[in-house]
Amino acid sequence: MEDGYVNIGKRLPRVDGIIKATGEAKYAADLSMPGMLHGKILRSPYPHARIINIDADKAKRLPGVRAVVTGNDTIGFKAGGISARGDEPYLALEKVRFIGDGVAAVAAIDEETAEEALELIEVEYQELPAVVDPVAAMNEDSPLVHEHAPRNISYKTDLSYGDVDKAFKKCDYVREDHFETASIRHGFIEPHAALASWDLSGKLSFWGSKQSPYFTYRNMAKALGITLSRIRIVQPFIGGGFGGKNEMFDVDFSSALLSRKTGKPVRIVVSQEEVLFAYRQRHPTIIDIKTGLKKDGTIMAVDAHIIADGGAYLSIGAMSLYLMCSFLCLPYRLPNMRARGYRVYTNTQPSCAMRGHGVPQSRFAAEVQLDMAAGEMGLDPMEIRLKNALGPHETTPNGFVITSCGFEESIIEGKKVIEKWRKDRPKDGDPNIKRGIGVGCYGFVVGPRVAGHNTAGAVIKVHEDGGVSLMTGSTDSGQGSDTALSQIAAEVLGVRLEDVRYGMVDSDITPVDPGTYGSRVTFITGNAVRVAAEDVKNQLAEVAAKTLEANPRDIRFKDRRVYVAGSPERGISFPRLVKIAQYSGAGKTLLGRGYWAPEGLKVVNLETGRGNMSATYSFGTQVSEVEVNTETGRSKVIRMAMLHDCGTPINEMAMEGQLEGSAIGGIGHTLTEEIIRKDGRTMNPSFLEYRMPTALDACNVEILHTDTYDDVGPFGAKESGEGIQVSVVPSIVNAIYDAVGIPFKKIPITPLMVLDALKDKSGK
C-alpha cells in the first residue's frame, strides 16, 4: 500500500456510527407523517389453494378502516428476476401458493383496528394438493405449483466444460457423495417496513427498508401502471439485509396501493414472525457431486447434480442456480466440469439471494468432499488445495479471468496457523472432548457484470467552507459502505473523512444504481466516487494553478492543503482554494460527476455459463477449530482464522466487522439454524426457536489479509465479508470430521446427528 494516505487503510469510525449508537438514525418503521394510516396484510393459511371469493364488506364497515385492497384492485403485474417470466403477484390473484402468501391489505387509523379488520375479511378457498418436497415435486404426477412449469421446474442449468467423462477415466481416485443444506433465514433485526404517500399531483413518494431501492423504483412503476418519473424512492437507514431486502415485496406494493386509494400516507411494518414465515429464505439444496483426482492430488474433473428448492415463485432464482453451478470452477484449477442444476417450485416461501448467493451451498459440498478424498488418499488437505490453487492471470474453463490473486499466500498462511494451533493445543482435559481443525477455501465475485444495468454513478458537491457532499445510488445496508465511499472521496480531494457528508438514496436526485448485492459497492461505486472526486479535483487544480503560478499537473491535494509538487510551502488551505474558485470571476459551482462499470467483460450467458462475471475476484482460506463433546453431541467452535485476499482494505475496522459477521453467521448455518416445516407450515417462526447464534456463541477470530493491491479496484480494493462466508461452513464441518473421524454431509449438524453417527461408528 502506498505510504502517506490520510484516509485509506485507516481504522476510522463509521460516518453513521454516532447516530446509530444514540438511536437518532431513523429506519422505515420510525417514520411518520400527518394523517398517516397503518396497514396490515392478510396472509394465506394454506400452502396451495384457489381463491373462490373474497368478501371484505365487514372489514370496510369497521370504524377506523379506510380501505381494503385485494389482487382484484391491481393491474395483474407479476414480478420475477427474469421479467419475461414473472410469476409473483404482489397480492394473490387466482391462487395462493404458500402459507403466508399475501391475499389482501387493510389501511386503518391504527394498527389494532387494522388487525381487527383482517379477521373480518372472509376468504373462500378451494384447497389444492400441495407439494413441499423438491424431489417429489419433480415427479410427473405431482401437483403443479404453476401450470406453466412441467414437473415444477422453474429454471434449469446445464453447464459443461472440457471432456468430463474422459477425464474421469484417467483419474486414480474418484469419489461420489450426497449432500444436503437446510433452508435458513437472513436474520436481519429490522423487519420489512414501508411508508408510501401519494400527493395531489399524482406523484408517489416511498420510504422503505430496501437494499436495492431502484429495483423497487422500477417494479413499483410497472405494478401500479405509472411512469418512473412520478415515483420518488427515498432510502432511510437499513437494519441489515444480507440479500433479503433486494426485491420489492407485498409490504411495499400494498402501502402504495392503499395510499393511492385513501389519499393518505400509509405505513406497513410487518412483524418478525411474518418475516420468518412469509418472506425470503436461502435455497435449501440437494447436491450429488462426483470428483476425480490423480494420485498426487491434482483435481481432474467434477460432475455435480443440484436440486434447489425455490419455493413458490421464481424470484431471482435463475441467477442463484447459475452461481451454484458455475462457482464449482473456483477457487481451484479445474479443467473438466459438468453441473446440472434444477430450481424447483414447491408450496413453501420463495427462496432468493443470501450472503454468498448460491455459492455457499455448492462449495460446502465440494470443500467437504475434498477433505474426505484427502483422508482416503493419505494426502494433506492443505497440500491438495495449494497444489490446485488458481493464481494470477489464469482463466477458468467457463471464462472467469483471474487478475490479482493472493490465494496461494492465504493457504500458506493457513498452514502456519494450523501448525501453531496444534502446538499450543491443551494436552490434558476431558476425555469426552475431541478437538479438530478444519479448512475451507473460496473464490468470489467482486461486483458481478450480468445483463442489464450495472453502472454506478456518483455526484460530489463542494461547499464554500470546504465541506463535501457525496451522493450515490448505492445503499449501505449495514456493511459500512457509506464510510468506505466517503473515505475514497476524501482521499482523492485531499480532505478528511469528517469533511464528507454522505447523502441517502433519493431517486429524485441520486444517480440510478442497481443496488447492494454481489459485493459491488466498494468496488464499482467506489470507482464512480473516485472519478467524481477527480472531476472536482481537476476543476480546483485549474484554479490552484493560476493562484500558485504552477502547472495544473503539478498541483497536489493532501490533508486539507493544496500545494505545488516538490514545494509544499507554496500552497493554500483547501477551504481557501474553494472560496477563490467560487467567489472569483463568474464563480464556480463545484460539482463532480462520475460513472463507472467494468469494461471489456464478456457478459455471462446463463444458458452456457460462459463469460467473465467480474473485473476481479477475491480469494481466501478459512481455518476453524472445534470441540466436540462425544457425550452430549454438542459441537462448539473454539477459534477461527480468516486469511483473505481483499486487495487493499479501505477501512480495516469495517472490514474486520464484516468478516466477524460472516464467521458467526457461518457458525449458525453449520450448527443450529434451520427452518422447520410441517406440511408447508413454519414451526419455528421466532428467533427464540430459530436459534441464530448470539454473542455467547461467538469465538475468537483472527483476521489476516494478503495485500494484493488490485489494479482496477479503487485504491487497490476488492470485496471482503461476503466471499469468506462461502468457506466458513465447510471449515467447521471439516473440523468436526478431524475431531471425530466422521464426515457429515448435511447441515446443520445437530447434537443428535453427532450422537447417532458416533453410535453407528462404534457399532453400539
Q: Does the pLDDT of residue 353 top 90, yes or no?
A: yes
Quote the pTM value.
0.97
Average pLDDT over residues 349-361: 97
Tell me the C-alpha to C-alpha distance, in Å, between residue 520 and each of 259, 595, 707. 34, 14, 19
Q: Percentage of the chain with pLDDT > 70?
A: 99
Average pLDDT over residues 404-420: 97
CB neighbour list of residue 380: distance below 8 Å, 6 or more residues apart: 374
Distance CA(381)–CA(370), nearest Å, equals 7
Q: Does the pLDDT of residue 2 top 70, yes or no?
A: no
For residues 75 and 303, is the Cβ–Cβ distance under 8 A? Answer: no
Fold of the domain built from segment(s) 281-449+603-762: Aldehyde Oxidoreductase; domain 4 (3.30.365)
Sign of CA dihedral 475, 478, 481, 487: positive
Q: Helix 526-548 crosses helix 574-583 at what angle (to 10 degrees)? A: 80
pLDDT digits (tens, 9 = 90+) for 680-726: 999 999 999 999 999 889 999 999 988 799 999 999 999 988 999 99
Q: Provide CATH 3.30.365.10 ranges for the chain.
A: 17-21+455-596, 281-449+603-762
Q: How confident is the model at residue 3 (pLDDT cuts 50, 70, 90)?
A: low
Q: How confident is the model at residue 1 (pLDDT cuts 50, 70, 90)?
A: very low
pLDDT of residue 764: 63
CB neighbour list of residue 685: distance below 8 Å, 6 or more residues apart: 273, 276, 277
Phi, psi (degrees; rounded to nearest 5) at 531: -65, -45
Average pLDDT over residues 662-666: 95
Q: Which of 139-148, 218-227, 446-455 comes out lowest in average pLDDT? A: 446-455
Classify residue 52 by burial, with Cβ atoms within 10 Å: 0-12, 13-18, 19+: exposed
b/e sequence 399-408, b meaning 16+ C-beta within 10 Å: bbbbbbbbbb
Distance CA(504)–CA(210), nearest Å, equals 12
Fold of the domain built from segment(s) 31-128+190-239+245-278: Aldehyde Oxidoreductase; domain 3 (3.90.1170)
What's the CATH class of domain 17-21+455-596? alpha beta
Distance CA(428)–CA(430), nearest Å, equals 7
pLDDT digits (tens, 9 = 90+) for 613-644: 999 999 999 999 999 999 999 999 999 999 99
Average pLDDT over residues 153-166: 97
CB neighbour list of residue 572: distance below 8 Å, 6 or more residues apart: 544, 547, 548, 561, 562, 563, 580
pLDDT digits (tens, 9 = 90+) for 269-312: 999 999 999 999 999 999 999 999 999 999 999 999 999 999 99
pLDDT digits (tens, 9 = 90+) for 475-524: 999 999 999 999 999 999 999 999 999 999 999 999 999 999 999 999 99
Three cell numbers at 105?
391489505
Three cell numbers at 654?
469495517
pLDDT of residue 597: 92
- Reduced to 3 states, what is the DSSP secondary structure of residue 324? helix
Residue 548 CB: number of other CB atoms within 10 A? 18
Does a cis peptide bond (omega within 30 degrees of 0) precede residue 748? yes
Average pLDDT over residues 67-83: 92
**How many secondary structure helices (H) and strands (E) does the chain include?**
19, 33
Across the chain, what does the average pLDDT equal? Answer: 96
pLDDT of residue 83: 65
Q: Provide CATH 3.90.1170.50 ranges for the chain.
A: 31-128+190-239+245-278
CB neighbour list of residue 31: distance below 8 Å, 6 or more residues apart: 195, 207, 236, 267
Q: Percentage of the chain with pLDDT > 90?
A: 94
pLDDT of residue 81: 79
Average pLDDT over residues 235-252: 96
Distance CA(405)–CA(55), nearest Å, equals 61
Q: Which stretch of DSSP H or E encloses residue 111?
A: helix 111-120
Tell me the C-alpha to C-alpha distance, in Å, between residue 691 and each of 12, 187, 190, 295, 659. 33, 10, 17, 42, 21
pLDDT of residue 600: 83
pLDDT digits (tens, 9 = 90+) for 577-608: 999 999 987 788 999 999 999 988 888 888 89
Average pLDDT over residues 649-659: 94
